[in-house]
């Protein structure tokens, strides 16, 4: 699935459409430059999954979790590995314990460390001139 969006609201609408295909237990990687719209996409997705809290970038907190409420999905876990430099930092998070059937996990900047995530979905967001973004969702 690929589309070009022209503002944040369109990106969040696409994220909401994608969110409707989730069942729980998914690991989703978000690839794209700084300011591409990875966090904006997660905001749209989280809202569609019933998250009412304000979703902010986990750049400094590394991992944020939010209660969700859509069918079996009870939790959204949002990570940003931008500041990571090695796999030991990842191990300290014990992500295997966080990856549960009742949770959707989203990771921004998975590619800064040489770890092979077994992801269900990869979302690539690319600048396409001005506010345009090309978003490619690969299952």
Per-residue exposure over 9-40, b if at least 16 CB sit within 10 Å of its own CB, e if not: ebbbebbbebbeebebebbbbbbbeeebbbbb
Three-class DSSP category at 103:
strand
Report which secondary-structure segment, H or E, holds 90.
helix 87-93
| Interface with Mg ion (CB under 5 A), residue from 7, 57, 134, 136 | 57
With CB under 6 A as the contact rule, which of the stretches 17-25, 30-38, 71-79, 90-98 interacts with ligand ADP? 30-38
Nearer to Mg ion, 10 or 80 (CB): 80
Cβ pair 97, 91 in contact under 8 A:
no
Nearer to Mg ion, 61 or 86 (CB): 61
38 is an interface residue for Mg ion by CB under 5 A: yes
Record the tokens describing residue 89, joined without a space.
């930092």
8 is an interface residue for ligand ADP by CB under 6 A: yes
Nearer to Mg ion, 38 or 133 (CB): 38
Q: How far is the CB of 102 from ligand ADP (least distance, A)?
A: 25
136 is an interface residue for ligand ADP by CB under 6 A: no
What strand order describes the sheet that includes 73-80? 2-5, 133-138, 121-127, 27-31, 103-108, 73-80, 63-70
Binding site for ligand ADP (CB under 6 A): 5-8, 10-11, 32, 34-40, 57, 108, 131, 133
Binding site for Mg ion (CB under 5 A): 38-39, 57, 108
């Amino acid at each position: 699935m690929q589309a070009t969006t022209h503002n944040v609201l369109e990106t969040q609408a696409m994220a909401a459409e994608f969110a409707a295909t989730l069942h729980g237990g998914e690991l989703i990687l978000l690839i794209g430059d700084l300011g591409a719209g990875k966090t904006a996409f997660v905001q749209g997705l989280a809202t569609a999954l019933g998250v009412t809290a304000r979703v902010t970038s986990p750049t400094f907190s590394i991992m944020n979790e939010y209660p969700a409420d859509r069918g079996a999905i009870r939790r959204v876990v949002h990570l940003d590995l931008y500041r990571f430099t090695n796999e030991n930092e990842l191990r300290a998070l014990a992500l295997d314990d966080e990856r549960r059937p009742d949770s959707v996990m989203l990771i921004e900047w998975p590619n800064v460390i040489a770890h092979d995530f077994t992801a269900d979905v990869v979302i690539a967001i690319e600048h396409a001139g001005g506010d345009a973004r090309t978003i490619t969702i690969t299952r």
